[in-house]
Amino acid sequence: MNLLEKLEKIKVRFDQINTQLSEAANANDFEKIKTLNKERLNLEDIIAAYEKYSSIIKNIQGNQDIINSSKESELVELAEIEMDELKSEKDKMEEEIKTLLLPKDPNDDKDVIMEIRAGTGGEEAALFANDLFRMYTRYAEICGWKYELIDLTETGLGGIKEVVFSISGQNVYGNLKFESGVHRVQRVPETEASGRVHTSAASVAVLPEVEDVEIDLNMNDVKIDIFRSGGAGGQNVNKVETAVRMTHLPTGIVVQCQDERSQLKNRQKALKVLKARLYDLELSKKNAEISAQRKSMVRNGDRSDKIRTYNFPQNRITDHRIGLTLYNLSTVIEGHIGDLIEQLKIADKTEKLQSAENN
């Protein structure tokens, strides 16, 4: 099957979706409308490319007919000049369409749970973890996403030992999934009197949120402890047992939530995090199998990998996976990470295309 035939089959499906949407709207079937709209949205870019590509093919055929049959030399010459331009456009469109036809990560549309933990570097690492938390929440605001705090452990000097929060919106996981890994910072700490540059680190984990149907969790395998919250929280702190800790006995995964004053809300949030971690565990196993077959340049199943360095003295940020260095750290740390994320997505698509061509 050639490229045009593949696109024509997708166009047939696109037309079917439009018909089904009209029928579902007439039947007030809102769940079906939501599902169909999601599928339609995923196909819109491909359909737009198909229409442009199809038009180019028709124009090439038309020009070829003129070249083959016309006796007017001037008309033939113009057709040949236009033919070169059309063939160049055709090649460009084919590359674009190949990228659009790559299998989409089914998790890309999902909301995420992010976990940031201070690593090596003591208080400076905790301050850096706080900077990363602010960077991602600012980025969420720029994108029009919503974020919600789940759990937070602060240090005495305004740093963060650990923070867990959720981000919801459109294509959140698709944009943030490459952020998992160890982030390294090089700068003069506020706690350093001599002015020496120190190196510290923090780890970031990005977990796709999952629906109940996607993860098989037996609550008999979960040990639940209720305890009193610690840290900021007003009169409720250390007086009422509202904080929740969940331990998944088969895997040893432990999550806790103490941000809400309601024990029920803390339970719900903790359970959401636990499900996301269990799903991520299964995802990591699958990714390990894939990477065993081929080395991945961007995807990172191993969060121990150092993925990025933030060098404040030189205003430099380097992503080690794709060898990208930018000199706009002061802007990036304020949440403007869209360009960096776009470069990672392009590298991932390029790698997938090369893999598809080799197989």
Same domain, 139 and 229: yes
Q: pLDDT category, 54, cuts 50, 70, 90?
A: very high
Same domain, 27 and 68: yes
338-349 residue pLDDT tens: 999 999 998 888
How many Cβ atoms sit within 10 Å of the Cβ of residue 280?
Answer: 21
Same domain, 256 and 120: yes
Q: What pLDDT sits at residue 132?
A: 97
Q: What pLDDT sits at residue 228?
A: 81
Q: What pLDDT sits at residue 285?
A: 78
202-250 residue pLDDT tens: 999 999 988 765 677 889 999 999 988 765 444 444 456 789 999 999 9
Same domain, 92 and 135: no
Domain assignment of residue 318, yes or no: no
Domain assignment of residue 311, yes or no: no
Average pLDDT, the chain: 86
Q: Which residue has the higher pLDDT, 60 or 298?
A: 60
Among 216, 221, 241, 218, smallest CA distance to 229 is for 241
Domain assignment of residue 313, yes or no: no
CA separation, residue 230 to residues 164, 165, 293, 300 (Å): 15, 17, 46, 34
Sheet holding 243-248, edge to edge: 222-227, 243-248, 253-257
Same domain, 91 and 141: no
For residue 335, the number of C-alpha atoms closer than 13 Å in the C-beta half-sphere is 14
CA separation, residue 54 to residues 14, 42, 61, 237, 259 (Å): 16, 20, 11, 65, 55
On the question of pLDDT at 1 being above 70, the answer is: no
333/317 Cα distance (integer angstroms): 10
Domain assignment of residue 309, yes or no: no
Eight-state DSSP code of residue 212: G
Q: What pLDDT sits at residue 359?
A: 59
Percent of the chain at pLDDT exceeding 70: 88
> Of 74, 100, 126, which residue constitutes the final position of a domain?
100
Same domain, 231 and 282: yes
CATH number for the domain harbouring residue 198 = 3.30.70.1660
Q: What pLDDT sits at residue 232?
A: 47
Q: Would you put residue 141 in left (φ > 0), alpha (ψ -120 to 50) or beta?
A: alpha
Same domain, 191 and 64: no
Same domain, 28 and 176: no
Same domain, 230 and 261: yes
Read off the pLDDT of each residue in 329-357 and give the average, rounded to a whole number: 89
Same domain, 217 and 261: yes
Read off the pLDDT of each residue in 311-333 and give the average, rounded to a whole number: 96
CA separation, residue 226 to residues 30, 146, 240, 244, 276 (Å): 39, 28, 10, 5, 21
Domain assignment of residue 358, yes or no: no
CA-based end-to-end distance of the chain: 16
Domain assignment of residue 106, yes or no: no
3-state helix, strand, coil in the chain (%, to 5): 50, 20, 30
Q: Are residues 176 and 161 in contact, defined by beta-carbon separation less than 8 angstroms?
A: no
Domain assignment of residue 234, yes or no: yes
Domains contained in the chain, number: 2
Same domain, 117 and 247: yes
344/85 Cα distance (integer angstroms): 31
Q: Which residue has the higher pLDDT, 313 or 299?
A: 313
Among 282, 262, 280, 284, smallest CA distance to 272 is for 280
Q: What pLDDT sits at residue 107?
A: 87
Q: pLDDT category, 160, cuts 50, 70, 90?
A: very high
Domain of residue 213: give its range. 112-302+334-352
On the question of pLDDT at 268 being above 80, the answer is: yes
6/50 Cα distance (integer angstroms): 10
172/107 Cα distance (integer angstroms): 9
> Of 73, 100, 127, which residue constitutes the final position of a domain?
100
Q: What pLDDT sits at residue 240?
A: 66
> Of 100, 127, 157, which residue constitutes the final position of a domain?
100
Helix or strand holding residue 253 (H, E): strand 253-257
On the question of pLDDT at 69 being above 70, the answer is: yes
How many Cβ atoms sit within 10 Å of the Cβ of residue 191?
Answer: 12
On the question of pLDDT at 178 being above 90, the answer is: yes
Domain assignment of residue 316, yes or no: no
Same domain, 165 and 245: yes
31-46 residue pLDDT tens: 888 889 888 988 999 9
Among 12-26, 157-171, 287-301, whose mean pLDDT is lowest?
287-301
Q: pLDDT category, 291, cuts 50, 70, 90?
A: low
On the question of pLDDT at 295 being above 60, the answer is: no
